[in-house]
Structure formats: structure tokens, C-alpha cells
């Protein structure tokens, strides 16, 4: 298991995802965080998730691991040493109520097992990431497919913005946003996260 310090996430970083939820496209990275208690690994196990707090949605994402503290002039390859695939689980009904009240999203985003990760792999470089789609399968059917070439804010923009407002350092991870296709989770749904045609991780949802 990787040593992870901070979990940062970028909201609404794909135009089609913002549109499917009726949200405006942001003018700058929309950042939020999750506690480390939210971490879980997609290693084929059964994963307990909340089933009594309204609709639960999956959001598949590319996740980057920060290799070192940010310094001006560093390249993306110097800042990122590993990538993984992840799911930012979201209690959508809870989030909608929080948004109406102008409250933070933590109750909708930070519950236990809400930050699912595959094992990390060496960062293959930006060109290789642009050449490879990531996808999510639910019960054997593809429900999401994305590529970071389609993001609104690119990886270095996200890193610089996160550094400016919070700081970044070795062991921090950033969920870089989800493409269109998010949807509800049902008890015993089986999920698989794929990089190209290779399955990087899987698990079964157990709603409790």
C-alpha cells in the first residue's frame, strides 16, 4: 500500500460531466479534499458503502501521485512519479442538499471508502496518457470512458493551483476529474477499472 498524505480532488474537470449534472463549467480548478479514512483499494474485495443516505454515485478518474514539493520550472514528469485509477464515490442526494445550503461537500464526499484506488503504476508520461483511455465497467458493461486530453484544466495547471492554495508534497494524490457517465450504485454491483484494455483493479459494492 502506498504512503498517501493528502487526497485532493478536482470537480467538474470534464465539460460533458458538468453538463450532465447541470453545472456551469468552472473558470478555475474546483478543488476539494477527502480524509485519508476515505481510502480503499480495488483489490477484488467486497467494499462497504453507505446505502441509507440517498443515491450513491460512482465517478471514475485518473489519479496522480506527487513525487516532490512543487518548485517553479519543474516539469510534469518531475512532479508526478505514479498514476492509478480511482473512484470518487459521491452521495448525490446529500451533495445536492449541501449545495442548496451553500455548505461544504465533505459529508457527500468524505465518508469511509469513498476514495477507491487501484495499485499505483509508474507514470508513463503525458503522451502515453493522451494515447490511452481509462474506463469503468459495472457488472461487465462499460459505463464510463475518459482521457485526460479532454480535461478543462491540465495536470500541471491543477498541480500549480493546488500548490498555490494548499501546498503539495511527496505522497499527495490528486483525483483529476471524472468524465461523463456517472450513475447510481446498487448492492452487489461489480466494478472494474481499466487502463486501455488492462484491468487495474476491481471490487464489489456492499451497501450497508
Per residue in 160-206, pLDDT (tens digit) is: 999 999 999 999 999 999 999 999 999 999 999 999 999 999 999 99
Distance CA 99, CA 53 (A): 16
The residues, any chain, with a CB within 8 Å of residue 105's CB and separated by 6 or more, are 32, 95, 98, 99
Instruction: Please give the average per-residue pLDDT across 61-76, as a whole number.
Output: 97
What pLDDT sits at residue 19? 58
Helix (H) / strand (E) element for 39: namely: strand 39-41
The DSSP code sequence of 118-172 is ---EE---HHHHHT--EEEEETTEEEEEE-GGG-SS-HHHHHHHHHHHT---TT-
Distance CA 188, CA 201 (A): 16
pTM reported for the whole predicted model: 0.95
Residues 127-161 have pLDDT tens digits of 999 999 999 999 999 999 999 999 999 999 999 99
Share of the chain above pLDDT 90, in %: 92
What pLDDT sits at residue 26? 79
The residues, any chain, with a CB within 8 Å of residue 65's CB and separated by 6 or more, are 2, 4, 80, 81, 82, 83, 84, 120, 123, 171, 172, 173
- What's the start-to-end Cα distance of the chain, in Å? 25
Instruction: Please give the average per-residue pLDDT across 104-132, as a whole number.
Output: 97
Instruction: Please give the average per-residue pLDDT across 41-50, as a whole number.
Output: 98
What pLDDT sits at residue 207? 98
What pLDDT sits at residue 197? 95
Distance CA 126, CA 52 (A): 40
Cβ 205 vs Cβ 191: under 8 Å? yes
3-class DSSP assignment, residue 42: coil
What pLDDT sits at residue 18? 55
Residue 92 backbone dihedrals phi, psi, to 5 degrees: -70, -40
What pLDDT sits at residue 15? 74
- Average pLDDT of the chain is 95
Amino acid at each position: 500500500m502506498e504512503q498517501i498524505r493528502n487526497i485532493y480532488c478536482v470537480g467538474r474537470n470534464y465539460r460533458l460531466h458538468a453538463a450532465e449534472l447541470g453545472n456551469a463549467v468552472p473558470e478555475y480548478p474546483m478543488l476539494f479534499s477527502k480524509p485519508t479514512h476515505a481510502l480503499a483499494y480495488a483489490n477484488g474485495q467486497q467494499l462497504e458503502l453507505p446505502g441509507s443516505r440517498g443515491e450513491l454515485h460512482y465517478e471514475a478518474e485518473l489519479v496522480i501521485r506527487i513525487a516532490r514539493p512543487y518548485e517553479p520550472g519543474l516539469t510534469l514528469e518531475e512532479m508526478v512519479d505514479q498514476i492509478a485509477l480511482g473512484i470518487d464515490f459521491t452521495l448525490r442526494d446529500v451533495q445536492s442538499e449541501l449545495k442548496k445550503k451553500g455548505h461544504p461537500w465533505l459529508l457527500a464526499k468524505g465518508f469511509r471508502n469513498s476514495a477507491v484506488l487501484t495499485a499505483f503504476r509508474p507514470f508513463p508520461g503525458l503522451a502515453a496518457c493522451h494515447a490511452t483511455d481509462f474506463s469503468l465497467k459495472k457488472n461487465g458493461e462499460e459505463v464510463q470512458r475518459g482521457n485526460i486530453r479532454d480535461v478543462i484544466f491540465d495536470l500541471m495547471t491543477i498541480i500549480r493551483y493546488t500548490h498555490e492554495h494548499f501546498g503539495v508534497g511527496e505522497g499527495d494524490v490528486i483525483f483529476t476529474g471524472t468524465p461523463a457517465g456517472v450513475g447510481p450504485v446498487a448492492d452487489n454491483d461489480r466494478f472494474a477499472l481499466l487502463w486501455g484494455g488492462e484491468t487495474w483493479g476491481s471490487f464489489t459494492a456492499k451497501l450497508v
